[in-house]
Amino acid sequence: MSNLSPVDRAKFIAARRACDYVEDGMKVGLGTGSTAAWMVRQLGEMVREDGLRIKGVPTSSRTAHLARETGIEVISLDEAKWLDLTIDGADEFDGDLALIKGGGGALLQEKIVATASDRMVVIADAAKEVQALGAFPLPVEVVPFGWQTTKALVEETLAGVDVLGREATLRISGDGPYVTDEGNYILDLALRRIGNPWQTSLVLNQIPGVVENGLFVDVCDVVVIGRPDGVVEVRDVENGASTQRVDILGEDANLFADE
């Protein structure tokens, strides 16, 4: 691990700590993104080497492929019906554990899976924490039909919401629009600051053509924040504002030693 950047070290540490929440026999939602990928690999190692028995419900085709590669049994949400736990990353989180997600384009499946779980654990590096959401562009998934009209409606509607910006940009991949696993497009909203995430989410989802938005409010239960030095900070909504720091490198002091 000595060749990892400080940010990747932090992501790895957070992912490793979050795997402590996974118990034998659980049905686990598997998030999408660079931080979640560390978690999937770690769980796969626990399946192969420790005999952990879990069933994983992936939030994207990319995660499904990675989970199968690492040896995790993959099932659909319809097969699982309900999940014990979902572990996923975030693009931003605030002091209330409200999130912006969807930078990886999987916000719809991520939100469905997260809300079908007893608990949602978010893994992140410290740079993802903000005082107010909105610096990261807010992804909004829209149906392709009439997307330009939907875009105009979104920008018009934002005039009545407590945000600092209203510009919506169609996400591009290659020579055309980025297409989600569900066949939809994504608008990225440059809001700069979101004064009321709950209201903003509610208003956006009432616009015809909008499928879902990347604001996760009252969904996350725990945030695990990794740091490059191996220290993790755990924030649990059930314990109010309490925090704990766990130096997991104390158990394996040479985890990042040069080989």
Residue pLDDT, tens place only, 18-76: 999 999 999 999 999 999 999 999 999 999 999 999 999 999 999 999 999 999 999 99
131 Cβ contact partners less than 8 Å away, ≥ 6 residues apart:
94, 95
Percent of the chain with pLDDT over 90: 86
Q: What is the DSSP letter of 135?
A: S
Query: For residue 154, is pLDDT > 90?
Result: yes
Query: For residue 251, is pLDDT > 60?
Result: no
For range 93-99, the mean pLDDT:
96
Tokens of 233: 């900070």
Indicate the helix (H) or strand (E) that contains 234. strand 231-236
Mean pLDDT of the chain: 92
| Sequence spans of domains, the chain | 6-130+218-250, 138-213
Question: Would you say domain 6-130+218-250 falls under CATH 3.90.1520.10?
Answer: no
Return the residue matching tokens 């691990």.
1
Indicate the helix (H) or strand (E) that contains 121. strand 120-125
CA distances from 190 to 36, 168, 215 (A): 25, 6, 13
Lowest-pLDDT choice from 102-116, 145-159, 206-220, 231-245:
231-245
Tokens of 90: 């975030």
| Active-site residue identified among 110, 129, 155, 251 | 110
**103 is known to lie in a ligand binding site:** yes
**250 is known to lie in a ligand binding site:** no
pTM: 0.91
Longest CA pairwise span in the chain (Å):
57
**35 is known to lie in a ligand binding site:** yes
The answer to whether 94 and 196 have CB atoms below 8 angstroms apart is no
Residue pLDDT, tens place only, 192-235: 999 999 999 999 999 999 999 999 999 999 999 999 888 899 99
Task: Mark out the alpha helices in the chain (DSSP H runs).
Answer: 6-18, 34-50, 61-70, 77-80, 107-115, 147-157, 197-204
**240 is known to lie in a ligand binding site:** no
Query: For residue 253, is pLDDT > 90?
Result: no
**102 is known to lie in a ligand binding site:** yes
**88 is known to lie in a ligand binding site:** yes
238 as an active site residue: the answer is: no
Helix (H, G, I), strand (E, B) or coil at 119: coil
Backbone angles phi, psi at 66, to 5 degrees: -65, -40
Question: How far apart (Å, rounded) are the C-alpha atoms in residues 215 and 110?
Answer: 11
**200 is known to lie in a ligand binding site:** no
Helix (H, G, I), strand (E, B) or coil at 152: helix
pLDDT number for residue 254: 40
One-letter amino acid for residue 191 of the chain: L
Fold held by 138-213: Alpha-Beta Plaits (3.30.70)
